[in-house]
Chains A and B, each alone.
Chain A
Amino acid sequence: MAAVVQIKNLIKKYDDFTAVNIASLEINENECFGLLGPKGSGKSSLAQILYGSSSLTEGDAFVLGLNVQDHIAEIKARIGVIPQEMIVDDELSVTENLKIYAQFYELSVESVTDKISSLLRSLKIEDKAEHSIRSLSLLSKKKLSIALGLINSPDLLFIDEPTLDLDPTSKKWILNFLKDLKQQKLTFILTTENETEAELLCDKVALVDQGKILVVGEPAALIQELVGKEVVEFDCEPQDINYYVQKLKEQKFEYQVFQSTVMVFIGSGKLAKEVLSLVTSSRIMLRKPSLNDVFLRLSGSKLGNS
């Protein structure tokens, strides 16, 4: 499997602040790769370096085998970007937006006509083809933004926070569409702070915190390995935390305390009911673990959206 992204000792600094510091990372072809981390963790800065909207300070980054520092125009011709902000040309109609954007990629008008109608059809906005941007709903605008990212049939697609600012129904629509894209064997890199999105769409994720990669792996494997099969989560009074921590240590449980909530990770050979019998709390629950627990376990903080 060929690598679509290779990173070696990459550092990005803004004045004295180091936003990204990654020793090595490889992303393979036909892989849906997630960069998962809280706001300001450096995941978007990393993606921006890869799609050429920002420059790196030190080290090397290769996209589709090309060095981002001296082949960025060739890279841009072969990738697509769906930015977090829905930026479209407000003065043009939906179809005009796509036509003009296609010309920026040197695609001929004849070759894109079919492409445009098939994109509008699969995104279910063919009835809005001639509409002005001002008349579009937020969801339709997002769909146009996705169509712009796909107009040049990219070899690699960058998707930045695809569901931010959308209502739950719209969110669901977009996620289903992206799932379809994944089925069509498109390689994409998703930056998100939402662990459910990453688990749903990504074959592999990198958890990013303070500019560094904490761990890389398949979501299910990471959860299994670093958290276990279940999580017992309970709230307690601040003065009781030490008591519970003591008990959990004695019984060799893996746990993490976040504010007044204690999370106990039930690994193999352990049983959740042993914890349940230990605790008296007004709010206690047994649940499936998520990538948020993995992140919490490794960084001591939450992704910040749940």
Chain B
Amino acid sequence: MTSKKGYLKVLARNYFLFKKSSFSAFAFLLLEPLFYLLAFGLGLGSFITNVEGVSYIDYFFPGLLCATAVLIPFFETALLQFSKPSRKKLYSLWLMTPISRKDIIIGEILWATTKGSIATLAVILVATPFGLVQSWLIIPCFLILIIISFLFASLGAVIVSFAESEFSIFCSPSTLILPLILISGVLYSIDTLALPLKVMTYLLPLSHGTEAVRGLLRGTVSMMFLFHLVYLLVAASVLFRMAIQRLEKNLTV
């Protein structure tokens, strides 16, 4: 009687805890995206009347969804789960049961993905009364946002696997994630960038996320949409495998 789907037990434990603290955890998740919406959408947006034919807040909204799907899962794996000492102790307890290291890594990544998805869903729900959600296309968008959450949950885990060994300075989230958000089409169109910077931006996964989600929501889907989607799926599966492979060896408990 070995534990065949141990990662689901790890996921269930985290979800149980989230549910237990229901209101406070949920409100906390919403705080950050709401501030972004206020600061960039309404604050900055009041100076900018028109971007590519729409109001700035309409332009910014898909970017905000993507940024939420990046920040929440990434911080969950990179800062909260795999690097907190108390969490590591807990892992050593779990490892005394049939739960394996692989179960823990997969379970935590799936939980971070779930939390990111809950947060983006909450942003969608909050934004609807403001008239920011106008189309049923928000449903396929949400599926893409889940893929983005999974990708950045995996990336967080990969980063930790390096931080465990030698590259800890590199891996401060603010040196990695904030610049990524600033250049990946969250706040402004990638088309405005100079060609070399544009090429570099397209090497990073988030630009494909913002382009896909924004294209879909604004009904400007082209062949490029498929390319963005394939890029996201491939990047996510590569990072997920890498996270498992590296952390199975490196995770100290």
Contact = CB atoms under 8 A, between A and B. Distances in A.
Nearest to B16: A100
Contacts of B6: 104
A77 B2 CA distance: 7
Interface string B88-126: 011011111111100000000000000000000000000
Contact of B90 (A52, A76, A89): A89
A73 B100 CA distance: 8
A105 B97 contact: yes
Contacts of A87: 89-90, 92-93
Nearest to B89: A87
A157 B233 CA distance: 45
Contacts of A76: 96-98
A83 B2 contact: no
Given A74-B2, A92-B17, A104 B89 contact: no
A294 B90 CA distance: 38
Most buried by A among B6, B9, B13, B17: B13
Given A77-B98, A92-B17, A104 B3 contact: yes
B12 interface: yes
A180 interface: no
B162 to A, nearest CB: 23
Nearest to B103: A104
A106 B17 CA distance: 19
Interface in A83-106: 83, 85, 87-92, 96, 100-101, 103-106
Contacts of B9: 100, 103-104
A73 B4 CA distance: 10
Contacts of A73: 2-3, 98, 100
B28 to A, nearest CB: 15
Interface string A63-89: 000000000011011000101010111
Nearest to B95: A53
B2 A85 contact: no
B194 interface: no
Contacts of B12: 100, 103
A105 B17 contact: no
Interface string B60-104: 000000000000000000000000001001101111111110000
Contact of A83 (B3, B93, B99): B93
B69 to A, nearest CB: 25
Interface in A223-245: none
Contact of B98 (A51, A100, A106, A148): A106
Interface string A263-293: 0000000000000000000000000000000
B93 A106 contact: no
B92 to A, nearest CB: 6
Interface of A: 51-53, 73-74, 76-77, 81, 83, 85, 87-92, 96, 100-101, 103-106, 148, 152
Interface of B: 1-3, 6, 9, 12-13, 16-17, 86, 89-90, 92-100
30 contacts: A51-B96, A52-B96, A53-B92, A73-B3, A73-B98, A73-B100, A74-B2, A76-B98, A77-B1, A77-B2, A77-B98, A83-B92, A87-B90, A87-B93, A88-B93, A89-B90, A89-B93, A90-B86, A91-B17, A103-B9, A103-B12, A103-B13, A104-B9, A104-B94, A104-B97, A105-B97, A105-B98, A106-B1, A106-B3, A152-B97
